[in-house]
Chain A
Amino acid sequence: MNGSRAAGLTLAWRFAAFRSEGFPLLPTLILLTLALVAIFANVITPYNPEIGSLGDRFHPPVWQAGGSAEHLLGTDHLGRDVLSRLIFGARVSMVVGFTAVIVAGLLGTGLGIVSGYLGGWVDQLIMRITDTWLALPALTFAIFLAAIVGPSEMNIVIILAAVYWTRYARVIRGEVLSLKERDFVRLAIVAGCSKRTIMRRHILPNVLNSAIVLATLMLGVVIVTEASLSFLGVGVPPPKPAWGLMLADGKKGLMAGYWWLTVLPGCCIVLMVLAANLLGDWLRVKLDPQLRQL
């Protein structure tokens, strides 16, 4: 109950509880595997993901008639190895997803705390901006920003953070509103703490749980948005191997029945998003009873 020091103690206690109650092992393993694959992408890929040979176009996967062991999961319309592209695609999704979630989280949590704690015109201003942001569907907004800044991985992160910080700000502000009426904050005021100190030392540690839960749940959303942007051609620029971009390329071979170019990248996206959502759901119940009904 007494602020930042209690948060440290309960963290240790919570870690002990982690192991007991239905820890989602499979989703964690999936995410860890994807992370390892992403980190060691250049070691384990058999081919350069961005260069193909036009003589090897549209090879099917190895188990299908016409496939060869040289390209386990076949090749695309430029003769590039699909497996290698999928592996490097994990790197793109991981880097973009995690960075965007963290940047949006820092921005949204910070503004949420300031908005909730200071109140007054600061609160009004930040909340009206949040309302305006939320009046635009996220994807429309993202496409729009993408047209302004142009395609690059760095810009995608900025765009996603710019679109999704409002989700954090809303929830965190609500929590701060009730936190600031609590005794430990009032005592801190009486003790003469500055507003800055209170927000940093007393409020921040208490909203951290919610921020982490939100971040995990946002990871899936962010990855789907990135894939959608890349699919539309305003996301990660070609020839970079992003999963959404692979789906856009795969559409060219769709009517000819080259199914692996459409099915495989999508499976990768679903696997990663599913794992993030399962982990997020579990964390939500575990860390933050208030968010359970979200």
Chain B
Amino acid sequence: MRRFILRRLGFAVVSLFLLSVTIFFFVRVTGDPAVLLVEPGASQADLDAIRQQFGLDQPLPVQYGSFIAHLARGDFGQSFYYRTDVLELYLSRLPASLLLATVAMVFSLVIGLPTGIVAAVRVNGWWDSAGKIFALLGLSMPSFWVGLLMILFFSVYLGWLPSSGSGTLLHVLMPAFALGWYFAAAHMRLTRSSMLEVLGSEYVKLARLKGLPEALVIGKHAFKNALIPVLTLAGINLVLMVNVAVVVETVFAWPGVGRLLYEGIAFRDFPVVQATVLLGGAMIVTVNLIVDVLYAVIDPRIRYER
């Protein structure tokens, strides 16, 4: 068990290291940030001064060394554009992203779980077909288009919801639904297949033989067990939601980390891009690691696989 965890931990660290190298060198290929930071028509001396100030005049390996050395002390550097600590900047945007992702997750589960259960209970029936169509639409409709349609309907025609910005609870509803839409379909699919598997198992047959009412068999015996894989996926997806919301955030002018990354790339704000990508990557790698280890704890066969 310990060997398994150490091995997986090693893989995770190697992945993050490769990610840091990739991102560090890629970001420097995007162009020279100094050009964007000075007034138009600035002299060569001004440009050189800026490059020196941010250490961009050093050779790349030296820059990377100092980046990693600072990183080891938890210092992600200063933003070129905002001139503040990048980690602070990131943390100031994170609550908005977490709020968006949490509400989106609630939407996706509230839609995905019941439809998945009904589809499994009435397998190959009318409800199942409707569920399949819903799942396909979820995978085929781009989330930002769902967002645009909602703005058109709820903001322009009905005037019920604000079309962009943040602050009140009303502001979060539309972006969260647009973001949760795709995941609702994914959760529905998994709930359905997981329920089907459990419904075919021996203990469900036994529960039925005992003469339990069908509602209790499905609600208590089947659903609770079918929920495990769905919640695992939901946990992974929550982290993904924080990191894939860029386009939805753009549509609704939502001030999350996705926008931060996008602005960082546009302004060639190297430290901001490095920090957002690395922290996002670290979240995803960590959550995958936790799931791997938990599964190995539950199922010993996985431990001896490799």
Residues of chain A touching chain B, judged by Cβ–Cβ distance below 8 Å, are: 128-129, 131-132, 135-137, 139-140, 143-145, 147-148, 220, 224, 227-228, 231-232, 247, 250-251, 254-255, 257, 259, 262-263, 266, 269-270, 273-274, 277-278, 293
Contacts and interface: CB of A to CB of B under 8 A. Distances in A.
A254 B152 contact: yes
A128 B244 contact: no
A220 B149 contact: no
B193 A139 contact: no
B151 interface: yes
Given A140-B243, A224-B142, A228-B142, 7 more contacts: A128-B11, A140-B244, A144-B26, A144-B277, A231-B144, A255-B156, A270-B137
B166 interface: no
A262 B141 CA distance: 13
Most central of B14, B137, B247 by chain A CB within 10 Å: B247
Contact of A277 (B22, B139, B281): B139
Contacts of A269: 142, 145
B60 interface: no
Interface stretch (B91-99, B201-209, B225-233, B259-267): B259-267
A214 to B, nearest CB: 15
Chain A interface mostly helix, strand, loop or mixed? helix
B265 A147 contact: yes
A277 B148 contact: no
Closest 9 CB pairs of A and B: A266-B145, A273-B140, A132-B18, A274-B140, A147-B265, A135-B281, A137-B244, A131-B15, A137-B243
Given A228-B247, A257-B157, A273-B140, A140 B149 contact: no
A140 B246 contact: yes
Contacts of B243: 137, 140
Contacts of A278: 136
A224 B288 CA distance: 25
Interface in B24-61: 26-27, 29-30
Contacts of B142: 224, 227-228, 266, 269-270, 273
A143 B19 contact: no
B9 interface: no
B145 A139 contact: no
B140 A259 contact: no
Interface in B249-267: 250-251, 258, 261-262, 265-266
A232 B148 contact: no
Nearest to B242: A137
Contacts of B148: 247, 250-251, 254, 262, 266
A277 B262 CA distance: 29
A163 B179 CA distance: 21
Contacts of A262: 145, 148-149, 152
23 contacts: A131-B15, A132-B19, A135-B285, A137-B244, A137-B280, A137-B284, A140-B258, A143-B246, A144-B26, A145-B26, A147-B30, A147-B265, A220-B139, A231-B247, A232-B247, A250-B148, A251-B251, A254-B163, A262-B149, A266-B145, A273-B142, A277-B136, A293-B193
Interface residues of B, number: 48
Nearest to A278: B136
Interface in B174-220: 193
Contact of A129 (B18, B136, B151, B262): B18
Contact of A135 (B19, B149, B251): B19
Nearest to B28: A148
B16 interface: yes
Contacts of B173: none
Contacts of B137: 270, 274
B240 interface: yes
Nearest to B247: A228
A259 B152 contact: yes
Most central of A129, A227, A266 by chain B CB within 10 Å: A266
A260 to B, nearest CB: 10
Contact of A128 (B18, B152, B251, B273): B18
B148 to A, nearest CB: 5
Contacts of B193: 293
B132 to A, nearest CB: 9
A231 B262 CA distance: 13
A135 B239 CA distance: 11
A137 B285 CA distance: 11
Contacts of A277: 136, 139-140
B136 A139 contact: no
A247 B142 CA distance: 11
Contact of B277 (A131, A139, A140): A140
B35 to A, nearest CB: 14
Contacts of A220: 139-140
Nearest to B11: A131
B19 A136 contact: yes
